[in-house]
Amino acid sequence: MSEQTKMPQSQQPALPGLMQDYPLTVGMLLERMGELHGHKVLTTRRAHQFEQSTYAALIARVHRLAGALHDLGVARGERVSTLMWNGPEHLEAHLAVPAMGAVLHTVNARLAPASIARVLEQTAPRVVLVEESLADVLLSVPLPSSVCAVLVADCRNACHAWPEPARGAHRWLRYEDLLAQADRHYFWPALDERSACGICHTSGTTGAPKGVVYSHRSTVLHAMSCLYADGIGLRERDTCLPVVPLFHAHGWGFPYASCLAGASLAFSHRNSDPAALAELIERAGVTLATAVPTVWINLLEQLRSGAIPAGRLQTLRHIPIGGAVVPGHLIEGYAEFGIHVRHCWGMTEASPLGLVSMRRSELSDTEWAAARNHQGIAPVGCQVRVVTDTGVVAPRDGKTVGELQLRGAWVADSYYAPDSPGLRNDAQAFVTDSDDRRWLKTGDMAWINALGYVHIVDRAKDLIKSGGEWISSQDLETALMEHPAVREAAVVAVPDDIWQERPMAYLSLAHQPECGTPNFAAYLETRFPRWQIPERFVVLLELPKGATGKIDKAQLRILAASPRGQAGKGR
């Protein structure tokens, strides 16, 4: 062929891939569970009692739930909302609703009734599943006109009288009664893997909660990512305990990942106190558990004091922690008991996994001791970058700070807009680069180094500007939590006539020091310049928590503005 007759590369016909179409759906996950892992065990500690069932029994109930919802008129694409804690019924909904082609919407049970009403109105569910212990909460909420029925699960009181249809167009029905009447086998339809699977709302820390719509594909890929050896490393031989509520980004994806891997599961219902968790870990043989740092701080205190014998946790090997910064002393403390803590970072918009701390082969023991305190590296399937306030992508030099941005196979492209579900919206949270690639603007200020480790300096809104210079509240909090007397720490900005803003520290103590309150300012002076150190350190019995279990800095800012909130030890 002459040079003149060669077809330019850009005009050559694309060669199609000659592979089978195998949709990544929750239905596929269910089929794998049934074929390979029916003998695996689900253990639940609820009301001081233990319940156990196999995955085979679970799947049989999942089929019945799908049939019951179908009989109630739930069609493909319609929403089913849940107001439930961690238990087998909630897991059944996580499997049945998406597999039948409907969309699961998990409502944060810790929200105020007005907020619950708002997210239900936005989502317009056809059916609401509510746990009996939360039925009174739902009764205080005006349900949207879309609701045709409310299913009440875990009905321990058979004589409880639920509202009559006269209360509205919807009926209140018993979950177990409907399952008993439903067909034993529901035929899972073929679904587009890119269709909606679930809706979770953000915590609303920067405004009203926003809906994030996960697809089947994103859900399964996220579950697969939890199985990577250089990630979470969840295995078939594990028993996983997601203490994090299932309404938080589907339990951080751990229930789906466990079902996919064939790992057994354990649920603590709504209980996260150390004694209850230790009892469940011992009873179920838990090997991997996950929760926000506060849960593990409490448990470590009990382990060190001897209140909980270390032998009760002898099966526990791995603790992936997210939701807040993981202090170094927590990593070191669990290492004393042979338990590996893995620092993770994520957000609802990222399903939620965005960064995982793993050891690269180039690192020496000393280098890894420092690197493990960073939030970590983007897992396969995600990509991160840091963008400065001038709009320039920051170099990976381990020092240039900018906003962390994220893209990937399980990262949101937009927020839920009921009136225009396909519309890309909210330019404040998403940006399109010159190559037409979408990035999620996380609102976290960070740097990234040459090995890909990301260190989050602070939330953009939590940075403190004092005398024209920036102070990282997160760095101060991390240092304070390494003090042996400190249990939790939070630093917020307070107005200052001279310096514009100054940091104020709020602390809860692990124990009451014998010699009075320590001089925290002097402790910080070995690590920070004096101008960065707070003038006031206020000790509270417990720091306020938000609906996601994180420390509520908004409440602390309100407290700091009051005379009572400023009473504390100075320098």
Q: Which positions are annotated as active-site residues? A: 202, 349, 465, 470
| Spatial separation of the C-alpha atoms in residues 521 and 571, rounded to whole Å | 6
Contacts for 291 with CB less than 8 Å, ≥ 6 apart = 242, 243, 244, 272, 321, 323, 549
Provide CB contacts within 8 A for 530, sequence distance 6+.
Answer: none
Contact 533, 525 (CB under 8 A): yes
**CA distance linking residue 553 with residue 534, whole number of Å:** 16
Which residues, other chains included, contact 108 with Cβ-Cβ below 8 Å and sequence gap of 6+? 115, 116, 119, 201, 203, 209, 245, 247, 248, 547, 548
- Residues 400 and 316: their CA atoms lie apart, in Å, by 38
HEC string for 216-277 = HHHHHHHHHHCCCCCCCCCCCCCEEEECCCCCCHHHHCHHHHHHHHCCEEEECECCCCHHHH
Beta strands in 364-429 (DSSP E): 382-387, 402-408
| H or E stretch covering 61 | helix 55-71
Residue written as token pair 């879309």: 146
DSSP designation for 215: E
Can you give the three-state secondary structure of 330-381, one letter per residue?
A: HHHHHHCCCCEEEEEEECHHHCCEEEECCCCCCCCHHHHHHHCCCCEECCCC
- Cβ-Cβ contacts under 8 Å for 455 (sequence gap 6 or more): 374, 375, 398, 446, 447, 448, 449
H-assigned helices in 133-183: 135-139, 175-181
Residues in Cβ contact with 537 at an 8 Å cutoff, skipping those fewer than 6 apart: 505, 507, 517, 520, 521, 568, 569, 570
For residue 32, the surrounding DSSP H or E stretch is: helix 26-36
What residues pair up with 211 in beta bridges, in sequence order? 201
